[in-house]
């Protein structure tokens, strides 16, 4: 059946069932019977597909529910014109699904309404989180010229182990760094796997430690027994109730954390994170957008300077060098694969700012750290070096 014809059938059956009984649209056997009665010549597979689509409209995110139920889909994108694209296996492709403006508006309301958020002409951008932890970004007119856009970033139900993201020797080096309470920043581009690697590193943290996580949208799934999760939120329609990343990082310092995990630093909160790393919260973790470990340090410099504290650049670079131990670069490797492509050690600053000493790349470990560990652990194993 053509996509347009299927949409007509779905609309007609859904309208008929809702008119009879608003709850009947969620009863799959009843929906299938209604489809067969209205269109007796449809193939059995088409009847099943239409019935699932009709039932999905009545719950959750309606027509997107079948996509959300597929664990192989990592991203769902509804474009302004109603076209629905997905990322599956690292590849983008367009689905047969096309949504009308009323359907997209209803999806937006179903996402932001329960969270007390809004997405309208006065507040045309919103970030939200679905009950399963998936992250949602919404942009509506007038910022989105062709109509509302919805982007849903999905996360796997199971954490990926560190060994699946890098060579065995690199995994051993990173595991040692976590035990040694090294302060680590994971850098990479959009969709490169920063949160996935951060989850893997956080999975190596000892159970006995109190971990406080700070995120813009809660995505981390730490297995530890003593994890406290904090999530930022924008102000309400009345302009109150906002809690920024910077507010939460400052508050986390008062919560007796052994380590602080900041999902991503994007601005002035970088200075608070560095201060935390330098004031008894060794072994903290975070991520930032950057194309290389050296770029990550430069971006962090700019973030700290944006805090408006009028700090000299030399002092900022000293703070970075003192606070950070490792920068781990993660990248897309093609074919949907993501992995560690560089591990850089932050060493004494030169005239050009903090320098990076490359310890490892995608092939293995080439040098061992020269910075002393922040916790009492055995020396790194020379056998890791290739």
CATH number of the domain enclosing 114: 3.30.450.370
Range of the domain at 146: 61-156
> Does residue 332 share a domain with residue 380?
yes
> Does residue 124 share a domain with residue 82?
yes
Instruction: Count other C-beta atoms under 10 Å from residue 128's C-beta.
Output: 21
Buried (b) or exposed (e) across 338-354, using 16+ Cβ within 10 A?
bbbbbbbbbeebeeebb
* Domain boundary pick from 12, 34, 59: 59
Instruction: List pLDDT tens digits, range 130-189.
Output: 877 788 999 999 999 999 999 998 876 567 889 999 999 999 999 999 999 999 999 998
Three-state SS at 343: strand
> Does residue 170 share a domain with residue 135?
no
* Domain boundary pick from 95, 129, 156: 156
How much is the pLDDT for 276? 85
> Does residue 168 share a domain with residue 150?
no
How much is the pLDDT for 369? 94
How much is the pLDDT for 171? 94
> Does residue 192 share a domain with residue 87?
no
Running DSSP on this structure, what letter comes out for residue 64? G
> Does residue 18 share a domain with residue 47?
yes
> Does residue 113 share a domain with residue 31?
no
pTM score: 0.76
> Does residue 139 share a domain with residue 271?
no
* Domain boundary pick from 22, 42, 59: 59
> Does residue 120 share a domain with residue 45?
no
> Does residue 79 share a domain with residue 221?
no
| Mean per-residue pLDDT, 86-106 | 86
How much is the pLDDT for 2? 45
Domain count of the fold of the chain: 3
How much is the pLDDT for 351? 63
| Mean per-residue pLDDT, 203-230 | 85
Spatial neighbors of 42 by CB under 8 A, at least 6 apart, are 1, 9, 35, 36, 50
Mean pLDDT of the chain: 84
Check which CATH number belongs to the domain holding 212 and give it: 3.40.50.300
> Does residue 4 share a domain with residue 123?
no
| Mean per-residue pLDDT, 24-51 | 77
Query: What are the distances in angstroms from CA 188 to CA 7, 117, 207, 281, 292?
Result: 40, 29, 28, 24, 7
> Does residue 181 share a domain with residue 106?
no
């Amino acid at each position: 059946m053509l996509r347009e014809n299927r949409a007509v059938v779905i609309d007609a059956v859904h309208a008929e069932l809702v008119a009879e009984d608003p709850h009947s649209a969620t009863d799959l056997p009843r929906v299938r019977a209604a489809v067969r009665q209205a269109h007796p010549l449809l193939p059995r597979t088409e009847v099943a597909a239409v019935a699932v689509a009709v039932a999905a409209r009545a719950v959750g995110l309606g027509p997107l529910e079948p996509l959300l139920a597929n664990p192989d889909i990592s991203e769902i994108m509804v474009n302004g014109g109603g076209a629905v694209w997905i990322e599956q296996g690292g590849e983008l492709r367009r689905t047969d699904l096309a949504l009308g403006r009323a359907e997209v508006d209803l999806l937006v309301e179903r996402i932001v309404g329960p969270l007390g958020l809004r997405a309208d002409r006065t507040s045309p951008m919103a970030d939200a989180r679905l009950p399963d932890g998936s992250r949602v970004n919404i942009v509506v007119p007038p910022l989105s010229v062709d109509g509302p856009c919805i982007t849903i970033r999905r996360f796997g139900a199971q954490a990926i182990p560190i060994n699946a993201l890098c060579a065995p020797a690199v995994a051993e080096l990173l595991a040692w760094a976590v035990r040694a309470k090294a302060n680590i920043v994971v850098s990479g581009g959009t969709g490169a796997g920063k949160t996935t690697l951060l989850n893997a590193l956080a999975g190596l943290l000892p159970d006995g430690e109190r971990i406080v996580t700070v995120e813009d949208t809660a995505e981390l799934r730490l297995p530890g027994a003593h994890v406290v999760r904090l999530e930022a939120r924008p102000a309400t329609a009345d302009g109150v109730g906002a809690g920024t990343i910077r507010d939460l990082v400052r508050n986390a310092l008062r919560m007796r954390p052994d380590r602080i995990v900041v999902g991503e630093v994007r601005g002035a909160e970088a200075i608070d994170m560095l201060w935390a790393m330098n004031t008894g919260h060794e072994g903290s973790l975070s991520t930032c957008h950057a194309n290389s470990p050296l770029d990550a340090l430069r971006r962090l410099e700019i973030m700290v300077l944006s805090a408006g504290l009028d700090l000299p650049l030399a002092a900022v670079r000293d703070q970075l060098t003192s606070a950070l131990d490792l920068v781990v670069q993660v990248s897309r490797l093609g074919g949907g694969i993501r992995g560690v492509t560089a591990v850089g050690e932050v060493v004494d600053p030169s005239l050009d700012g903090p320098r990076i000493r490359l310890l490892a790349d995608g092939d293995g470990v080439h040098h061992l750290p020269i910075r002393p560990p922040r916790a009492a652990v055995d020396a790194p194993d020379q056998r890791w070096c290739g």
